[in-house]
Structure 1
Amino acid sequence: MLLRFLTFPCLAAVMAAAWIAAARGQTATNAPAAPSTNAPITAPGAGKQEKQPSAEGVAALKKAADVAGKGDVKGAVQILDAALAKEELFTGYYLRGRFKHLLGDFTGALADADKAIAMRRTLRALDLRGHILLDLKRFRESQQCFELALALQERSGNKMLDPSCLQGLGIAVYCQGGNDQLALEYFQQAMEIESVPKERLYNALYSWSVCARASSVSRAKEMLTEAVAKARSTQSEEASAPSDTASTAWPVIIGEFLLSEKELPARLLEKAQAAKDEKTRKDQLCEANYYIAMKYLDFGVEDLAKKHLQAAVDTQALDLVEHKLATAELEMLFSPVAPLREPAHLHMGQRPNDDAAPLTEEVKAELSKAAEASGAHRHAEAIKILDAVLARGDNYFAVYSRAWTRWHQEDVDGALKDADKAVAMRQSVRALCMQGRFLLAKGRYKEGLESYSRAMAIQELAKASLPDQRSLLGAAEALYCAGDVESANRAIHYLNLAKRYAIAEDRLHATHVIWCLYARNRLGNRAKSLLEATLAHAGPTLRTDEAMQGKQFRNPWLIVVAEFILNPEMKPERLTDAAKEETDLRLRKHLLCKMYYYIAMRYRNELKDEMAEKNLRLAIDTQALTATEYTLAQAELAVIAKERDESAKAK
């Protein structure tokens, strides 16, 4: 397992078992793996087999393990240096790599792990390399190393996968972001296999943290409760080993804090400070701050989450998993995100019928003219140009462009017909997202979600470095419209991901919808701090004169809506009056639709469903068919009707 509160007096026996198992190419299940980014890993070859070590070499290995067990890890490295200068020893490189890792010499540790693997590719050596790569923040390589280790184990016929590798895989995937479900599965598998109660509990804690990202910790609460109970039951049995009892007791304290609705973060920090030695105090403060941060993140309080994540990183407890997770969380949640360029793969896909009209320079020029006309709201002219292109033969880009042009004309049926045709020609991310959006507008939520899911699957196959925000936002919208609690939780997860990778205005828009999801369940206050943090982060950019003139920020109404949500004293008329000032008739009805929707959701949060329903109907009456809020308003009315029916049946 990953190193935590390692006490050297008990290390000798463990290390002796480790080097013997490593020398035989076996798994030492109770040996602690070294504690724990993005070019592909070149897997070391099978390598030459180590010669039978000399008697002097065996004596040196035993002496190094004994010296390390007494706390002198540097002395152990020196013994191994001398031994390896005389003969190559697989176990010597392996142990020296572990010891260097303990000392924080990650580069040296990696070099020794590579030498060991070149001689003999064993599970333990690969596991060591994977954890070193975690510390070097080379998460992608680390993931591949753990996958190779597990594949090696499976080929050997061992059906019981190694929990250390599974845990390492979970950490590597977690730190890369974008695939929390996979990270959760790895942590849960590790927990099921793990026989040590303390490590089983830590896997439950990591699972809880993954769920906290999506504000859905209820999914992990049961497994954490069970793991805490099992770990607590072992404490009385371990009373004869005080140091081990202390290390087991601490994760129980963390688990109880996460499960409690009453215990304050300050109390957990006090317990962390009470450690008897400085190293343990530093480690416990790192863990305490990390889990406090994730609890705040579950509540949507991003400013306090950031504060405690930074405090966890500042402890410099580099050998702890929680230090890595806190560092990754800070980078993913709070680093400024530049606007995404359109990656080439977003319009790539299968093209069974896309050869009739190749994309010649002439066709490109016509498509540019159509785009210019549509951008100037001369949609009929754009349609005419695109029809002429398609008269010469089917062309994916012409069909794709005509679909969006028809959408802007609010010809939803015609737009969907073209979207279906574009997907039939080329199953690209962009075409599927377009199809999904149009299906949602028609109230076909399940089919819309399927389109967005296929778009995300294509990105996964293309090994996209960043998830496409349109896919994420669309999937969230589809799940939102589905109306059930589990869908809503997944929608919050997708919206949070989309918010990380979006430009400033889209981050703010995504946060509005997250707030509405909470408002549906009368938990709007829980998401207010999230909205405040996003507004504080994006607001200065969006409020500049240049932005308000439309050069950077097309939607100043987003700020007005945010202020309305955050200020209970602000009257709804403030929103509708602002929308009515718009002179463009099409834009005015879209703004009114949006404003009525957010007014309705504030009423929902205040338990005033009658007023909420009234404003939702006003949003729909605008007939702003292509506005996102029009689709959401329709879905919300359906949810209210369902709630009313259930209430009537209950009576």
Structure 2
Amino acid sequence: MKYKHLAVALLFIFVQGCANTSGSSANLENIVIAEPMTVNYKSEIALARLTEVIHRAEISDVQKAQLYYDRGVIYDSVGLRSLARLDFNRALRLKPDLIEAYNFIGIHFTQLQEFNQAYEQFDSAIELSPEHEYAFLNRGIALYYGGRPQLAADDFSTFLSKQENDPYRLLWLYLAEKEVDGDSAKTNLKARSLKVQSNVWAKQVIALYLDELSLDQFVTNLTQGIGSNKDLTDRLCEAYFYLGKFYQANGDNRVAANYFKLALSTNVYEFVEHRYAKLELDLMRDSLSTNAR
């Protein structure tokens, strides 16, 4: 489809401009990206039906808790985080051992930079289910953004041990380890990447971080295997976030911020990369505000 090739061509120009213009931010007016995801009508219908059942049906507290949780998940998937959080809390009041609700609330606290409260939520999820692997991922992310990279790396290591060929698990562990020891982190990433199949797209992010793939090649390969706008939007959400982290690591926060904004523009609310692109921007603004004082 033509829009895909145009998006890549213009993104290529964007990246080249970033690489060749010292200290300048990208001109976003020259960028064409995939059409942002819109709310699926099925989600709207599901929200209406769940709301009707919650308020009209005669059901047990346990059943109502599950319905609140299910509605919260849909609210979260369309970006209505405050409404989602209200439903998750309602679900926990009715069913205090609803593990996934703790996990979601912890994620939301992380996004709000309420890190201690986030740790408590993830701790609760892990206490209830020590094998709940995504609680380790999400607690690791909270620890990473909360300035505790070694503890974050410990949680990411636990998460990675559950599926050692998952490139995204490798990448988050690398990001944490890099804050502790950059050289060691890169060595570890290279060794671990051997378990990731070469046909998995995200391995190209790893190759970029290991300086085994040029920025030009990375951008050129972005649409390989893409068959729909949704596929493209999903991939761009991930790519923009990791490009933001790439530029951030190289000290160019202005370009990094533009990439985080591009990740947000995809509206892929469920993706980890979308959730934390906003937090990255918030932290950048906080840092600028602090330095300006």
Say whether the fold is shared (TM-score over 0.5): yes
Tell me the equivalent position of 1:192.
none
Instruction: Say which of 153, 164, 169 aligns to 1:492.
Output: 153
Figure out how many residues of one structure are paired with residues of the other and give that number.
248
Tell me the equivalent position of 1:567.
211
Instruction: Say which of 137, 159, 175 aligns to 1:516.
Output: 175
Task: Give distance in 1, aligned partners of 2:101 and 2:186.
Answer: 35
Structure 2 CA distance for partners of 1:490 and 1:522, relative to 1, 3 Å: closer
In the alignment, is residue 538 of structure 1 matched against residue 196 of structure 2?
A: yes
Tell me the equivalent position of 2:80.
411
Task: Give distance in 2, aligned partners of 1:443 and 1:410.
Answer: 18
Q: Identity rate of aligned residues, in percent?
A: 17
In the alignment, is residue 469 of structure 1 matched against residue 139 of structure 2?
A: no
CA shift for structure 1 position 399: 2.2
Structure 2 CA distance for partners of 1:623 and 1:378, relative to 1, 3 Å: closer
CA deviation string 1:365-402 (max 9, x = no partner): xxxxxxxxxxx983234334434543313522222222
Q: Could you tell me whether the CA contact under 8 Å between 2:76 and 2:84 is conserved in 1?
A: yes
Structure 2 CA distance for partners of 1:517 and 1:627, relative to 1, 3 Å: same
Tell me the equivalent position of 1:599.
243
Question: Which residues in structure 2 correspond to 1:325-364 (within 5 Å)?
Answer: none
Task: Give distance in 2, aligned partners of 1:600 and 1:469.
Answer: 26
Q: Could you tell me whether the CA contact under 8 Å between 2:241 and 2:277 is conserved in 1?
A: yes
Q: Could you tell me whether the CA contact under 8 Å between 2:233 and 2:268 is conserved in 1?
A: yes
Question: Which residues in structure 2 correspond to 1:179-578 (within 5 Å)?
Answer: 378-390=42-54, 391-392=56-57, 393=59, 394=61, 395=63, 396-428=65-97, 429-459=99-129, 464=130, 467-482=131-146, 484=147, 487-502=148-163, 504-505=165-166, 508-519=167-178, 521=179, 524-539=182-197, 543=199, 556-567=200-211, 569-571=213-215, 574-575=218-219, 578=222
Q: Could you tell me whether the CA contact under 8 Å between 1:594 and 1:619 is conserved in 2?
A: yes
Structure 2 CA distance for partners of 1:411 and 1:641, relative to 1, 3 Å: closer
Gaps of 5+ in 2: 1-39
Task: Give distance in 2, aligned partners of 1:399 and 1:576.
Answer: 44
AA aligned to 1:470 is: Y
Task: Give distance in 2, aligned partners of 1:412 and 1:587.
Answer: 24
CA shift for structure 1 position 599: 0.9
AA aligned to 1:492 is: A
Q: Could you tell me whether the CA contact under 8 Å between 1:522 and 1:604 is conserved in 2?
A: no
CA shift for structure 1 position 587: 4.9
Greater relative contact order (CA < 8 Å, ≥ 6 in sequence): 2
CA deviation string 1:199-242 (max 9, x = no partner): xxxxxxxxxxxxxxxxxxxxxxxxxxxxxxxxxxxxxxxxxxxx
Task: Give distance in 1, aligned partners of 2:238 and 2:134.
Answer: 19
Structure 2 CA distance for partners of 1:587 and 1:380, relative to 1, 3 Å: farther
Calculate the aligned-residue CA RMSD, in Å.
3.2
Q: Could you tell me whether the CA contact under 8 Å between 1:472 and 1:495 is conserved in 2?
A: yes
CA shift for structure 1 position 586: 4.8
Structure 2 CA distance for partners of 1:596 and 1:572, relative to 1, 3 Å: farther
Structure 2 CA distance for partners of 1:572 and 1:604, relative to 1, 3 Å: farther
Structure 2 CA distance for partners of 1:536 and 1:604, relative to 1, 3 Å: same
Structure 2 CA distance for partners of 1:577 and 1:440, relative to 1, 3 Å: farther
- Indicate the larger mover: 429-438 or 380-389: 380-389
Task: Give distance in 2, aligned partners of 1:572 and 1:424.
Answer: 51
CA shift for structure 1 position 427: 2.2
Task: Give distance in 2, aligned partners of 1:583 and 1:624.
Answer: 17
Task: Give distance in 1, aligned partners of 2:250 and 2:67.
Answer: 47
AA aligned to 1:535 is: S
CA shift for structure 1 position 603: 1.8
Task: Give distance in 1, aligned partners of 2:124 and 2:220.
Answer: 38
CA shift for structure 1 position 452: 0.9
Structure 2 CA distance for partners of 1:403 and 1:379, relative to 1, 3 Å: same
Q: Could you tell me whether the CA contact under 8 Å between 2:240 and 2:263 is conserved in 1?
A: yes
Q: TM-score of the superposition, structure 2-length normalised?
A: 0.70
Tell me the equivalent position of 1:216.
none
Gaps of 5+ in 1: 1-375, 544-555
Task: Give distance in 1, aligned partners of 2:52 and 2:165.
Answer: 38
Structure 2 CA distance for partners of 1:574 and 1:611, relative to 1, 3 Å: same
SS at match of 1:631: helix
CA deviation string 1:20-72 (max 9, x = no partner): xxxxxxxxxxxxxxxxxxxxxxxxxxxxxxxxxxxxxxxxxxxxxxxxxxxxx
SS at match of 1:378: helix
Task: Give distance in 1, aligned partners of 2:220 and 2:176.
Answer: 22
SS at match of 1:557: coil
Task: Give distance in 2, aligned partners of 1:377 and 1:564.
Answer: 37
Find the structure with the greater CA-based Rg: 1
AA aligned to 2:189 is: L
SS at match of 1:539: coil
Instruction: Say which of 268, 274, 280 aligns to 1:624.
Output: 268
Task: Give distance in 1, aligned partners of 2:68 and 2:92.
Answer: 10
CA shift for structure 1 position 442: 4.8
Q: Could you tell me whether the CA contact under 8 Å between 2:150 and 2:177 is conserved in 1?
A: no
Tell me the equivalent position of 1:289.
none
CA deviation string 1:611-646 (max 9, x = no partner): 323322332343433321223223333444455566
Structure 2 CA distance for partners of 1:590 and 1:450, relative to 1, 3 Å: farther
Task: Give distance in 2, aligned partners of 1:586 and 1:438.
Answer: 25
Q: Could you tell me whether the CA contact under 8 Å between 1:560 and 1:575 is conserved in 2?
A: no
Q: Could you tell me whether the CA contact under 8 Å between 2:164 and 2:195 is conserved in 1?
A: no
Structure 2 CA distance for partners of 1:575 and 1:628, relative to 1, 3 Å: farther
Task: Give distance in 2, aligned partners of 1:527 and 1:474.
Answer: 20
Task: Give distance in 1, aligned partners of 2:73 and 2:183.
Answer: 37
CA shift for structure 1 position 433: 0.9
CA shift for structure 1 position 476: 0.9
Q: Could you tell me whether the CA contact under 8 Å between 1:561 and 1:575 is conserved in 2?
A: no
Task: Give distance in 1, aligned partners of 2:183 and 2:216.
Answer: 18
Q: Could you tell me whether the CA contact under 8 Å between 1:416 and 1:439 is conserved in 2?
A: no
Structure 2 CA distance for partners of 1:576 and 1:642, relative to 1, 3 Å: farther
Structure 2 CA distance for partners of 1:583 and 1:496, relative to 1, 3 Å: same
